[in-house]
Structure 1
Amino acid sequence: MLPDYPIIDAHVHIQPWEMVKPGALAALRTRRQSGMGDPLAYMDPEHGPERLIAYMDANSIEKVGIVNYVAPEVMGFREKGVNEFSAAYAAAAPERIIPFGSIDPRDPVDADQRMEYILGQLAIKVVKIHPPHQLVHANAYRDGGGIETLATIYATAQAYHVPVMIHTGTSVFPGARNKYADPMALDDVALDFPDLQIILAHGGRPIWMETAYFLLRRHKNMWLDISSVPPTRLLDYFPWLPRVAEKAIFGSDWPGPGVPGIRENVEAFMDVPLDAEIKRLILRENALRLFGEP
């Protein structure tokens, strides 16, 4: 059963699939059929937004965040193209679709100009960093890590008041490097950029959930995205969730593994033994505070 208020799903993968590398595409194709139909039908930049909005309207979904990022080696997503796709897709319904994007953190050339382009010209609303797919530690701008572009990314996002979502926890895509998946690296980011809103995606599952909890308690600008955890297992992974409920946001991770559809994930979440007020915070109110009112 859906709630009696509109939902915000902060983590949906609508991406330019024509860029995806063969190995990653093979993994994605195993997930093609879902309760929402063929995910590829939503990826079409011409007709996909209309299809998505129709689905949202039919299922009390007010907003979705379409997660896009640069990861040429692991996923095939290239900086020139993936950001334009995200911005153009969201432009079909800017009050409903939140575009995510990024620059390549391993490319040092003109990083400040590239960030100004995606945030200023393309109006990307959330920056996505995916350490296991971008092959960097999230704090590799420090202590001789050599990835100064990361500092530019964080500083520019902070100046634009744009949140940064950082993937934490393992990835099984071919070529993903899980040594970069530990969320403790976000401790440095939060300390060095104290006004930056940081979304801790996936809560470090399935290994680093207690680290995620520590970070959420320590840093006032740290948020938890609960996507990529089956709602039926949510309190097994995050038994402390009620204690950080005011900092948690809902994400379905559709069309990720085990996600039949956004509606189905919301309905399963509604069955989790949490207070009604906590469910409303996670499904709507916290995201409104983080991303802004309609």
Structure 2
Amino acid sequence: MSVATNSFGVHALVWRGGTTPDDVTAIAEQTAAAGYDLVEFSLHDSVNMDVDHARKALQSNGLRVTCSRGLALDADVSSEDPAVVSRGAQLLADSLELTAAIGGELLTGALYSAFGKAPAPLSRKGRENVVSVLQDLSKEAEQTGVTLGLEICNRYETNVVNTTRDALRLADDIGSDNVVIHLDTYHMNIEESDFVTPVLDAADRLGYVHIGENHRGYMGSGHLDFTSFFGALARIGYSGTLTFESFSSAVLASGLSNDLAIWRNLWDDGDDLARHALGYMRQGMHAAYTR
């Protein structure tokens, strides 16, 4: 196998819970100092983000950026209510505009539904609405140079996409080369049968990866089979970004921490956590490519 050429990212919630100018400055500086190539911002707090400041802070620290989000119950594109779908479509359009404005290369997450446990299975009409909205969004994204990611989330967070094959079917129906698959080891641990088959299924359509433990704490302190996962990535020649995602009650984000059920204090020192994770990911991918 060839040598690993992946870039590595870290979620902003390892550092700060908000996106005010002071928050963004600290996030960018700490991300760069820890040795990462990219930072991911959740857009739950985007109303407080100063776009010009964020773009300059990222550029001055030599960082690439990805944005992620889920939708709200009153702005859910998988709803059957046209008004709710319309609000969801506008929220996605606004998120795409912000992502492009700060220099983002990818807008990903549960772009297809409200975030949270659904009261019932997805309806046929609801899925048709998802496809229609994301077809339009993908066309807008192409004009801005931003790629869309379909993050595969567990059954307690969405009823639209729970497995890699669900995501592939949705991507097929959207029918755009600008839509990629986004795997997340935390969710895979709940929904997939193993850590290899989903990677092989996604293959060259895999465009982004979240790396996180089953409890979302320190890498290597849980039970996930990262050796198999890294090996599968090497097997398909994945050369994209691996972004470390971890949450603790030590860093709280208004609203989002409750949505994600961040009740436990799994770490206090984000810098130590992030540096350890970067070393773990680099070593894991190097070993996978040299086996």
TM-score relative to the length of structure 1 = 0.51
The Cα shift of 1:212 comes to 1.4
Contact 1:130–1:167 (Cα < 8 Å) also in 2: yes
Classify 1:167/1:68 alpha carbon distance in 2 versus 1 (closer, same or farther; 3 Å): farther
Classify 1:163/1:146 alpha carbon distance in 2 versus 1 (closer, same or farther; 3 Å): closer
The Cα shift of 1:117 comes to 2.4
Identify the residue that residue 67 of structure 1 maps to in structure 2.
11
Classify 1:237/1:262 alpha carbon distance in 2 versus 1 (closer, same or farther; 3 Å): closer
Higher-strand-fraction structure: 2
Residue 100 in structure 1 maps to residue 60 in structure 2: no
Residue 242 in structure 1 maps to residue 200 in structure 2: yes
Structure 1 residue runs without a partner (length 5+): 9-62, 70-75, 289-294
The Cα shift of 1:177 comes to 3.4
Report the Cα distance in structure 1 between the residues aligned to 2:100 and 2:218, rounded to whole angstroms. 35
Report the Cα distance in structure 2 between the residues aligned to 1:64 and 1:105, rounded to whole angstroms. 23
The Cα shift of 1:5 comes to 3.8
Report the Cα distance in structure 2 between the residues aligned to 1:252 and 1:270, rounded to whole angstroms. 10
Say which SS state the counterpart of residue 199 (structure 1) adopts: strand
Identify the residue that residue 122 of structure 1 maps to in structure 2.
58
Classify 1:146/1:99 alpha carbon distance in 2 versus 1 (closer, same or farther; 3 Å): closer
Contact 1:141–1:147 (Cα < 8 Å) also in 2: no
Classify 1:67/1:90 alpha carbon distance in 2 versus 1 (closer, same or farther; 3 Å): same
Moved more, 77-86 or 181-190: 181-190
Classify 1:222/1:267 alpha carbon distance in 2 versus 1 (closer, same or farther; 3 Å): same
Instruction: Report how many residues are paired.
Output: 209
Classify 1:234/1:100 alpha carbon distance in 2 versus 1 (closer, same or farther; 3 Å): same
The aligned amino acid for 1:145 is R
Counterparts in 2 of 1:1-294, with a 5 A limit? 5-6=3-4, 8=6, 63-68=7-12, 77-80=17-20, 81-93=22-34, 96-104=36-44, 107=47, 114-123=50-59, 125-131=64-70, 136-137=75-76, 144-145=86-87, 148=90, 150-158=92-100, 160=103, 162-167=105-110, 177-179=116-118, 186-194=134-142, 195-201=145-151, 203-206=152-155, 207=159, 208=161, 209=163, 210-217=165-172, 218-227=175-184, 228-230=186-188, 234=192, 241-248=199-206, 249-254=208-213, 256-257=214-215, 261=219, 265-270=225-230, 277-278=235-236, 280-281=237-238, 285-287=239-241
Report the Cα distance in structure 1 between the residues aligned to 2:209 and 2:136, rounded to whole angstroms. 25
Report the Cα distance in structure 2 between the residues aligned to 1:84 and 1:246, rounded to whole angstroms. 35
Structure 2 residue runs without a partner (length 5+): 243-291
Say which SS state the counterpart of residue 131 (structure 1) adopts: strand
Say which SS state the counterpart of residue 241 (structure 2) adopts: helix
Contact 1:141–1:150 (Cα < 8 Å) also in 2: no
The percent identity for this pair of structures is: 11
1:181-203 Cα offsets, whole Å, 9 max, x none, are 997564442233224212222x2
Root-mean-square deviation over aligned CA pairs: 4.7
The aligned amino acid for 1:212 is A
Say which SS state the counterpart of residue 224 (structure 1) adopts: strand
Say which SS state the counterpart of residue 89 (structure 1) adopts: helix
Identify the residue that residue 41 of structure 1 maps to in structure 2.
none
Report the Cα distance in structure 1 between the residues aligned to 2:34 and 2:218, rounded to whole angstroms. 24
TM-score relative to the length of structure 2 = 0.52
The Cα shift of 1:166 comes to 1.7
The aligned amino acid for 1:129 is S
Identify the residue that residue 49 of structure 1 maps to in structure 2.
none
The Cα shift of 1:219 comes to 2.2
